[in-house]
Amino acid sequence: MKKLLLILILFAACIGLISQTAEFSKKGLVTIPRETRFVDAVNALEVMSQQYANKKIINSSSFNQEIGIPIKEILWREALTLIISYNNLVLEELPGALLIKDFTTEKEEEKKKMVFPDTKQIKISSIFFKVDKSFLNSIGIDWSTLYKGKVDVSLGFMGASNVSDELLTASASHSLESSKASLDLNTLLKIIEAKQKGTIIARPNIVVISGKEGFIQVGQDFSVKTTDEDGNVFDRFFSTGIIMKVLPEIVEKGGTEAIYLKTMVEKSDATPGELSTIINKSTSTTEVLLFDGEETVIAGLYDTDETKVRSGIPILKDLPWWVFGIRYLTGYNRSESKIGEMIIVIKAEIVESLDERINKTTTIKEKVEEHRDSRADIKTYFEENDEDMFNEKK
């Protein structure tokens, strides 16, 4: 009885708050005082929206002042439109909802969508490779020295003797005193793969207009069955694999162009569990300033690979169990854990605009035409000379 009484009191209080903000009639008319806060007015109108249009009202605007205009016995939809127009906001109708946004945000989005022939593009090249952490430490790579596709490696580290000859031979320049060598990145990756200490997972490339977002996924999506508030079952999809989102923008100062690059990289995979699906994920987000053709490195994304290995006396350890149980006397199973590090190299290059490419194409065409004209002139010259010589012989 006490619980029922408490519920009735709370219900009456809620009705009282709504009635203070707005007064409804059965015909969908609404009255709202001009001193009402915008958020309170939207909450009150949302009740009418769900009742008559079955739509929620989503308020993503930053405005929360008084509505500034009296509303008296107006249809709820007209009242909402009037309040939004009066306060310079934007109303967008979505399936199942009405979205309220700031007008400035709408203007900025429209401005960003504008693209012109002289708009420049940026080519984003990347390399995702995974390498054994202990091996990487043994050769002492200094990723901060990466410049124009070359990186410094240390030949004096313990454990580097097995590969020092290969690194020394392949290096573009080296100093025996400092035990350092400058090595081409692609050559280094080939040496690592040849030693079976790492592998290149992906080399995604993408060209993006300045100020636009680019997206690359090398992998697959999987779905999970979920239910909404009404009990409807639907599939919710998740993306896994090698995922890269980039948002480059060209900035200029004093005639020098640079690239402001926002990057999100992810390596993930899905593992089905007993109750739900587990997503193993390594993610990194960064913002950097790069010159045209400059590279940056994202490292330190570790994961552990566990493998089962059978050791013991060769041949005997692999015999079937029914051969007198010899396999149990001559061998045993053990687990090996290897820590791998994901290295991501990202390079940004400014691509010529459409106008520049058109002008270059026009210049090439003009040169070809000039070459053709000169060949035609030479041909005409020889033909005339041959004709004169023939007349002289006569």
Cα–Cα distance list, 264 to 85, 213, 279, 342, 344 (Å): 38, 11, 17, 14, 11
Report if residue 33 sits inside a domain.
yes
User: Rounded to the nearest 10 degrees, what angle do helices 38-52 and 76-86 cross at?
Assistant: 150
Average the pLDDT over 134-138 and give the result.
Answer: 80
**Is the domain of 291 the same as that of 314?**
yes
- Cα separation of 87 and 59, whole Å? 14
Residue 298 binned pLDDT confidence (cut-offs 50, 70, 90): confident
Q: Is the pLDDT of residue 4 over 70?
A: no
**Is the domain of 162 the same as that of 276?**
yes
Of 9-23, 128-142, 182-196, the range with the lowest mean pLDDT is: 9-23
Q: Which of 25, 58, 52 is nearest to 39 (CA)?
A: 58
Report if residue 365 sits inside a domain.
no
DSSP code of residue 185: H
pLDDT value at residue 393 = 52
**Is the domain of 131 the same as that of 265?**
yes
Domain closes at, from 71, 104, 137: 104
What total of structural domains would you count in the chain? 2
Average the pLDDT over 317-332 and give the result.
Answer: 83
Contact assessment for residue 160 and residue 151, using Cβ atoms and an 8 Å cutoff: no
Contact assessment for residue 185 and residue 170, using Cβ atoms and an 8 Å cutoff: no
Contact assessment for residue 38 and residue 83, using Cβ atoms and an 8 Å cutoff: yes
pLDDT value at residue 20 = 44
Report if residue 23 sits inside a domain.
no
**Is the domain of 82 the same as that of 168?**
no
pLDDT value at residue 69 = 85
**Is the domain of 63 the same as that of 184?**
no
pLDDT tens string 224-268:
777 766 667 777 788 888 888 999 988 887 788 889 999 998 888
Comparison of pLDDT for 40 and 163, the residue scoring more = 40
Instruction: List the beta bridge partners of residue 231.
Output: none
pLDDT value at residue 123 = 92
Query: Residues 352-358: contacts with CB within 8 Å, 24+ apart?
Result: 352/120, 353/117, 353/118, 353/119, 353/120, 353/121, 354/117, 354/118, 354/119, 355/117, 355/118, 358/117
**Is the domain of 62 the same as that of 208?**
no
Burial grade of 310 (CB within 10 A; 0-12, 13-18, 19 or more): exposed
Domain containing residue 62: 29-104
Report if residue 24 sits inside a domain.
no
Domain closes at, from 75, 104, 133: 104
Report if residue 319 sits inside a domain.
yes
pLDDT tens string 166-192:
554 545 444 444 557 777 888 888 888
Report if residue 3 sits inside a domain.
no
**Is the domain of 133 the same as that of 39?**
no
- Cα separation of 41 and 21, whole Å? 7
pLDDT tens string 18-68:
444 444 445 678 888 888 888 888 888 888 888 888 888 888 888 888 888
**Is the domain of 114 the same as that of 100?**
no
Burial grade of 61 (CB within 10 A; 0-12, 13-18, 19 or more): buried
Q: Provide the percentage of residues in the chain whose pLDDT is more than 90.
A: 4
Contact assessment for residue 36 and residue 49, using Cβ atoms and an 8 Å cutoff: no
Report if residue 66 sits inside a domain.
yes
Report if residue 372 sits inside a domain.
no
Contact assessment for residue 135 and residue 338, using Cβ atoms and an 8 Å cutoff: no
- Taking CA 159 as the corner, what is the angle to CA 158 and CA 160, rounded to the nearest 5 degrees? 95
- Cα separation of 242 and 125, whole Å? 14
- Cα separation of 153 and 136, whole Å? 10
Q: Is the pLDDT of residue 350 over 80?
A: yes
Residue 221 binned pLDDT confidence (cut-offs 50, 70, 90): confident
- Cα separation of 112 and 247, whole Å? 12
- Cα separation of 290 and 347, whole Å? 9
Comparison of pLDDT for 175 and 278, the residue scoring more = 278
- Taking CA 329 as the corner, what is the angle to CA 328 and CA 334, rounded to the nearest 5 degrees? 55
User: Rounded to the nearest 10 degrees, what angle do helices 38-52 and 2-21 cross at?
Assistant: 110
Of 123-127, 166-170, 183-187, 340-344, the range with the lowest mean pLDDT is: 166-170
- Rg for the chain, CA atoms, rounded: 35
Fill in the amino acid letter for 25: S
pLDDT value at residue 111 = 57
**Is the domain of 191 the same as that of 330?**
yes
Contact assessment for residue 270 and residue 279, using Cβ atoms and an 8 Å cutoff: yes
Residue 348 binned pLDDT confidence (cut-offs 50, 70, 90): very high
* pTM more than 0.75: no
Cα–Cα distance list, 339 to 37, 82, 154, 198, 298 (Å): 57, 62, 21, 11, 17
How confident is the prediction for the chain on average, in pLDDT? Answer: 76
Contact assessment for residue 21 and residue 36, using Cβ atoms and an 8 Å cutoff: yes
**Is the domain of 84 the same as that of 114?**
no
- Cα separation of 220 and 268, whole Å? 10
For residue 66, what is the domain's CATH number? 3.55.50.30
Strand, coil or helix: 238:
strand
pLDDT tens string 284-293:
888 888 988 8
Q: Provide the percentage of residues in the chain whose pLDDT is more than 70.
A: 74
Domain closes at, from 87, 104, 121: 104
pLDDT tens string 377-386:
665 655 655 5
Average the pLDDT over 64-86 and give the result.
Answer: 87
**Is the domain of 202 the same as that of 345?**
yes
**Is the domain of 182 the same as that of 48?**
no
Give the chain's end-to-end CA distance (angstroms, integer).
134
pLDDT value at residue 384 = 59
Strand pairing class (97-102; 56-59): parallel
pLDDT value at residue 303 = 78
Backbone angles phi, psi at 177, to 5 degrees: -70, -45
